[in-house]
Structure 1
Amino acid sequence: MQPQDQNSDQNQTAKIAAAIKLLIASYDASGSLLICGNGGSAADCEHIVGELMKGFCLPRALSAHDRDRLTAICGDDAARLGEKLQYGLPALSLVSHSSLITAIANDLDGDLIFAQQIWAMGKANDVLLAISTSGNSENILLAAKTARAKNMTVIGLTGAGGGKLAPLCDVLIDVASNDVASIQEMHLPIYHEICRQLESHYFTA
């Protein structure tokens, strides 16, 4: 490994650690993670939610206290619920709501599909994860600006340099490529590592 490659890896590791620290601070303050992206990055949004809202690498089994609460309320279904339900970390993909997104695009402005959702439900302790291979998508930039207006934390996941999104981020994780497919492939292990470390922080016995 060349020295510059080693420095790049260390820098990337530090950025990931900084993002995780911000997410832990948010979750500790009862915040949620809101995620936005276009195209392949929209698929990444859904993927991340799937890793956070249920078990990823760990089972996240319910405590005896919570199983007892289910028993008190759920009758015959309590055993099944207590055995199968898992703890989750609140995460919401802003690409999921097709009726809302098309209403915003039709009635307001297509570039506001994420910003409007953030304005409606974003809170000061929440985090926006903005995923953009270029860092220049207008709807992502408006989402990040709106999040900052709501006193939210902004984490960017982009290609090299971060584009116009970079100065809007509290933490920018940019990968060393300008090729869309390569950027998307490099993003996956990064967000998997973030999800894995968050899960380990909250759910390791």
Structure 2
Amino acid sequence: MGNSEKTKNYLENYRKKLDEILEQIDATVLTQVIDVMIAAFKSKNTIYVVGNGGSAATASHMQADFSFFVRYFTKFRPNIIALTDNVPIITAVGNDTSFDDIFVEQMRGRFKPNDVLIAISASGNSPNLVKAVEYANSIGGNTIAFIGFLGGKLKDLAKVPLYTPNPKGDYGPIEDIHMILNHVIVNYLSTDEEFLALTEN
């Protein structure tokens, strides 16, 4: 089998993995995610996004999409912050206290009741995400988790867990799906009448 055929077969198998995960997305839960975000935008609350590694990149991408795409195509200015992006604070907290605290320390004194925390994780078990979700819940925040594998602790901790199972350790496809979910939400909101009504205010 030539390299071209091997590549073609691998690509097809990878596509099938993505299709299998996409088919497992619960549209009802995705609607809950969107509703929580719209409610936060309506009430002028802030949405915070966190993740590690590839999921940190997705968190930053989500902030970029909402900051640029939504602002570019509407008059609305959504308040969404990726806590993955302040490298000095992350390294200071990680060095001086614990890497497990890099997100929760940024939330203290800033995160308010009815603010939203979106935690993105393949495993759902990252200690720094677990602590952040626990903190958000403790002060009356709304918590959302994008999770894969077996769901992990975030499946039970998050108020709205968007769980799409996939084989443990197979990071690529689940991280791809989380990025797709970001794009689905952003593009959906750009056509949603309720959301667009906010842009006129």
Following the alignment from structure 1 to structure 2, what is the Cα–Cα distance between the partners of residues 203 and 55? Answer: 13
Equivalent-residue separation in structure 2 for 1:133 and 1:93 (angstroms): 17
Aligned with 2:88 (options 96, 99, 103): 99
Residues 25 and 162, structure 2, Cα contact 8 Å, conserved in 1: no
Q: Please give the residue correspondences for 1:1-205 in structure 2 after superposition, counting only pairs within 5 Å.
A: 9=23, 12-56=26-70, 59-60=73-74, 62=75, 87-178=76-167, 179-201=170-192, 202-203=195-196
Task: String of CA shifts for 1:136-167, please: whole Å, max 9, x gaps.
Answer: 11111011111111211000001044211111
Counterpart contact for 1:175–1:187, Cα < 8 Å: no
Contact 2:124 2:153 in 1 (8 A): yes
CA distance in 2, matches of 1:184, 1:11: 14
Distance 2:92 2:72 in 1: 38
Gaps of 5+ in 2: 1-18
Secondary structure, aligned partner of 1:200: coil
Q: Measure, in 2, the Cα distance between the counterparts of 1:161 and 1:10.
A: 13
> CA RMSD, aligned part only?
2.3
Classify the secondary structure of the residue corresponding to 2:81. strand
TM-score by length of 2: 0.79
2-side partners of 1:101 and 1:190: how far apart? 26
Following the alignment from structure 1 to structure 2, what is the Cα–Cα distance between the partners of residues 36 and 57? Answer: 21
How many aligned residue pairs are there? 175
Distance 1:10 1:100 in 2: 37
Secondary structure in structure 2 of the residue aligned to 1:89? coil
**Cα deviation, residue 9, structure 1:** 4.1
Deviations 1:59-116 (A, max 9, x none): 21x4xxxxxxxxxxxxxxxxxxxxxxxx331110001001111111122221100011
Identical positions, percent: 30
In the superposition, the TM-score normalised over structure 1's length comes to 0.78
